[in-house]
């Protein structure tokens, strides 16, 4: 066993850390107080800077200009840029585009790649991924009401989707819809490319989440598909592949989520320590002298480190034996890291007292936004049950 990251990566991480601190952290107050659309110009400048340094979209496949990193290294990058809420966007590592790039790269036809993948890779357009439905448990991608019916050379799509992240301003959506309701449950749905300009695609609203509707990239859309008609070559992969593609996309994607969360954990821990060291509570005494604060700092440190190693080991396992063999591990990190994230943010906020409630630090933002970590991509409870079942199955086999 060897816990040393590669020297190449160490240099990369140092560069990124510097960039994040010098260029992105100063933008955070604006990020917290202004609509995302107002930040677009300055973020475009930062993206240009990142491109010049050859750091744009490091996670893309090498043939698309990515850095050809393995999943561990990619995770470490995700953690590093995840120390600021605008990091992934600026470095071209943001969901859902990163996942869509992968899907298109793997399953797209040449024509689809030319039309959609190229500009997506370059970051000149954005996309969204339209899977979850308000009336169906998001944890079960087999249960879907949205349908795509053959009509001549077209699919006609009807249904309602929500929590379609970044739909606002996206050029196209990848929609998951039932193409064959009578098939085996896991073969019912397909993935279809839908340009958002298509008649019948209606972004009903940006869903108000934790008090904010958001805008542009930073939003979660609710979309109604009403007789939304797209040509059949907009199908991704084969008919019935929807569930498989979704799994392929979500499984390893959880590594990225987890590493991003660990980046937030690190940032929150730093903020907690800085506040502890600087806040006087009596002449000559700061919060850093308080045992309760100390125990939070220590517990958070240990929990973050442990959760981090489990995530990295999972990345290593996926790289060695494929994500299908690692569903158990993926479930474990999903809830372990999400839980750690919430505890660490909560403690950091508490150490800030009233200041922690304000938008004068990042913590109030993290507290409310990242509450979702325990919910999306399958609530923690679903992952716990699924992990336990796999363990018990193995044990019962002896």
**Quick count: other Cβ atoms within 10 Å of Cβ 277?**
11
Residue whose CB is less far from a second copy, 144 or 276: 276
Give, to the nearest 10 degrees, the angle between helix 291-321 and helix 242-278: 150
- Smallest distance from a second copy to CB 338, Å: 11
Q: Could you give the CA distance from residue 285 to residue 75 in angstroms, rounded to a whole number?
A: 39
- Smallest distance from a second copy to CB 184, Å: 17
Residue whose CB is less far from a second copy, 82 or 138: 138
Query: Token digits for 255?
Result: 């590594």
Tell me which DSSP letter residue 70 carries: -
Residue whose CB is less far from a second copy, 101 or 362: 362
Query: Token digits for 236?
Result: 């991704």
Q: Do residues 83 and 205 lie in contact, with contact meaning Cβ atoms separated by under 8 Å?
A: no
Residue whose CB is less far from a second copy, 5 or 237: 5
Residue whose CB is less far from a second copy, 64 or 345: 345
Q: Do residues 66 and 58 lie in contact, with contact meaning Cβ atoms separated by under 8 Å?
A: yes
- Smallest distance from a second copy to CB 8, Å: 13
- Smallest distance from a second copy to CB 234, Å: 27
Query: Token digits for 15?
Result: 């560069």
Query: Token digits for 171?
Result: 């050029």
Query: Token digits for 110?
Result: 């040449």
Query: Token digits for 219?
Result: 């939003």
Parallel/antiparallel/unpaired status of strands 172-178 and 127-130: parallel
- Smallest distance from a second copy to CB 210, Å: 5
Residue whose CB is less far from a second copy, 117 or 264: 264
Of the candidates 13, 70, 246, which has an alpha carbon nearest to the alpha carbon of residue 141?
246
Residue 214 vs residues 38, 57, 206: alpha-carbon distances, Å: 12, 24, 7
- Smallest distance from a second copy to CB 147, Å: 18
- Smallest distance from a second copy to CB 223, Å: 14
C-alpha triplet 220, 226, 227: angle, nearest 5°: 140
- Smallest distance from a second copy to CB 9, Å: 9
Residues pairing with 304 in the sheet:
none
Q: Which residues contact 90 (CB under 8 A, 6 or more apart)?
A: 24, 43, 46, 47, 50, 81
Residue whose CB is less far from a second copy, 108 or 266: 266
Residue whose CB is less far from a second copy, 15 or 313: 313
Residue whose CB is less far from a second copy, 216 or 303: 303
Of the candidates 258, 276, 252, which has an alpha carbon nearest to the alpha carbon of residue 340?
258
Tell me which DSSP letter residue 174 carries: E
Residue whose CB is less far from a second copy, 240 or 365: 365
- Smallest distance from a second copy to CB 208, Å: 4
- Smallest distance from a second copy to CB 339, Å: 9
For tokens 């992105």, the residue is 24
Of the candidates 189, 199, 202, which has an alpha carbon nearest to the alpha carbon of residue 228?
199
């Amino acid at each position: 066993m060897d816990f040393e990251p590669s020297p190449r990566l160490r240099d990369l991480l140092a560069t990124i850390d510097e960039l994040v601190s010098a260029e992105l952290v100063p933008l955070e107050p604006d990020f917290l107080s202004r609509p995302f659309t107002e930040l677009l110009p300055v973020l475009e400048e930062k993206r240009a800077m990142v491109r010049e340094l050859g750091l744009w979209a490091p996670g893309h496949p090498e043939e698309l200009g990515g850095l050809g990193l393995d999943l561990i290294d990619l995770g470490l990058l995700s953690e590093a840029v995840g120390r600021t809420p605008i990091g992934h966007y600026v470095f071209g590592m943001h969901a859902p585009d990163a996942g869509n790039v992968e899907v298109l790269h793997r399953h797209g036809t040449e024509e689809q790649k030319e039309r959609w993948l190229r500009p997506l890779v370059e970051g000149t357009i954005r996309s969204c991924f339209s899977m979850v439905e308000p009336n169906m448990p998001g944890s079960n991608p087999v249960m879907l009401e949205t349908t795509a019916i053959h009509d001549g050379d077209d699919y006609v799509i009807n249904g309602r989707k929500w929590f379609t992240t970044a739909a606002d301003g996206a050029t196209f959506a990848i929609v998951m819809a039932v193409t064959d309701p009578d098939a085996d449950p896991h073969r019912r749905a397909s993935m279809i490319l839908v340009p958002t300009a298509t008649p019948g695609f209606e972004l009903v609203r940006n869903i108000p989440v934790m008090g904010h509707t958001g805008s542009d990239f930073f939003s979660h859309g609710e979309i109604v598909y009403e007789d939304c008609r797209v040509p059949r070559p907009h199908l991704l992969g084969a008919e019935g592949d929807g569930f498989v593609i979704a799994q392929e996309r979500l499984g390893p994607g959880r590594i990225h989520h987890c590493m991003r969360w660990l980046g937030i954990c690190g940032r929150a821990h730093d903020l907690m320590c800085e506040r502890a060291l600087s806040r006087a509570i009596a002449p000559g005494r700061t919060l850093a002298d308080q045992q309760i604060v100390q125990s939070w700092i220590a517990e958070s440190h240990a929990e973050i480190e442990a959760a981090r190693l489990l995530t990295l080991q999972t990345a290593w396992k996926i790289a060695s034996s494929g994500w299908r063999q690692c569903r158990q591990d993926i479930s474990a990190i999903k809830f372990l890291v999400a839980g750690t994230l919430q505890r660490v943010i909560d403690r950091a906020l508490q150490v800030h007292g009233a200041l922690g409630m304000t938008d004068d630090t990042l913590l109030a933002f993290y507290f409310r936004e990242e509450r979702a970590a325990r919910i999306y991509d399958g609530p923690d409870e679903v992952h716990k049950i699924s992990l336990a079942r796999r363990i018990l199955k193995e044990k019962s086999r002896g």
